[in-house]
């Protein structure tokens, strides 16, 4: 069973996403902010990370920078889940080494396709 780390400050979105992924057969770890997310990523070494961009204190951009700088986490596939409609924000995120992005609101199919795409082969 593959493990997904969700870094998302909004409780409802975090829980719903987790439930959807669990029903799809993933093991899910939740982080309510960027700081916790970085700690859990290093400790649990998930198979994939889903991360929001706009979060207080440590935002999504800072999270990916830290992850890529750390040899333990640098190779974990990383997907942004963003509420932003701004193309330049998405481009910035992708430029920092993300493997994909999903725009809110997303349906289950979109989310699972994005996960499949960036991990090369189905993870489930």
Partner 1 sequence: MEQRPISLENEAGFRVLFECATISILVVNEQGNIELVNPCAETLFGYQPAELIGTPIEVLIPENLRSRHAHHRKDYFERPKARPMGLGIELHARKKDGQIFPVAISLGHYELAGEKLAVAFVSDITDQVRAKKLVAEREAWFRNMADNSPVMIWVSGNDKNWTYVNNTWLNYTGRAIENELGTGWAEGIHADDLERCLLTYNEAFDARQTFVMEYRLRRADGQYRWIQNVGKPTYIDNVYTGYIGSCSDIHDQKRATEELEELVRKRTNELYEALDREKEMNEMKSRFVSMASHEFRTPLSIVLSSTTLIEQYGSPNHDERIQKHIARIKSSVANLTTILNDFLSLDKLEQGKVEVELDTITIPDFMKEVVEDVQTLKKNGQVVNIEHRGDNKVLLDQKKLRYILVNLLSNSIKYSSDEATINVSSHANQNEIQISVQDNGIGIPDEEQKYMYNKFFRAHNTGNVQGTGLGLTIVKRYVELMGGDVSFVSKVGEGTTFNIRLPKIAAL
- Interface residues with partner 1 (CB under 8 A) are 10, 12-13, 16-17, 19-20, 23, 54, 83-86, 103-108
Helices (H) and strands (E) in the chain, counts: 5, 5
Q: Which is nearer to partner 1, 16 or 70 (CB)?
A: 16
Closer to partner 1 by CB, 42 or 107: give it. Answer: 107
Minimum Å gap between C-beta 54 and partner 1 is 8
Query: What is the side-by-side strand order in the sheet with 100-103?
Result: 27-31, 3-7, 48-52, 78-82, 100-103
Report the residue number, 39 or 108, with the smaller CB distance to partner 1: 108
Q: What is the closest distance, in whole angstroms, from the C-beta atom of residue 114 to partner 1 in the complex? A: 14
Collect all residues with Cβ–Cβ distance below 8 Å to 12 and sequence separation of at least 6: none
What is each CA distance from 36 to 33, 84, 122, in whole angstroms?
Answer: 6, 23, 27
Q: Are strands 100-103 and 78-82 parallel, antiparallel or unpaired?
A: parallel
Q: Measured from the CB of residue 78, what is the shortest distance to partner 1 in angstroms?
A: 19
Tell the smallest beta-carbon distance from residue 7 to partner 1 (Å): 15
Tell me the C-alpha distance between 74 and 97, whole Å: 10
């Amino acid at each position: 069973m593959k493990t997904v780390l969700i870094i998302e400050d909004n409780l409802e979105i975090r829980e719903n996403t987790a439930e959807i992924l669990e029903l799809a057969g993933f093991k899910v770890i939740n982080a309510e902010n960027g700081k916790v997310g970085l700690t859990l990523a290093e400790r649990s070494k998930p198979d994939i990370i889903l991360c929001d961009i706009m979060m207080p204190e440590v935002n999504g951009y800072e999270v990916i920078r830290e992850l890529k700088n750390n040899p333990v986490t640098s190779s974990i596939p990383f997907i942004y889940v963003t509420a932003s409609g701004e193309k330049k924000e998405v481009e910035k995120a992708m430029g920092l080494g993300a493997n994909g992005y999903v725009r809110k609101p997303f349906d289950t199919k979109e989310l699972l396709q994005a996960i499949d795409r960036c991990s090369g082969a189905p993870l489930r």
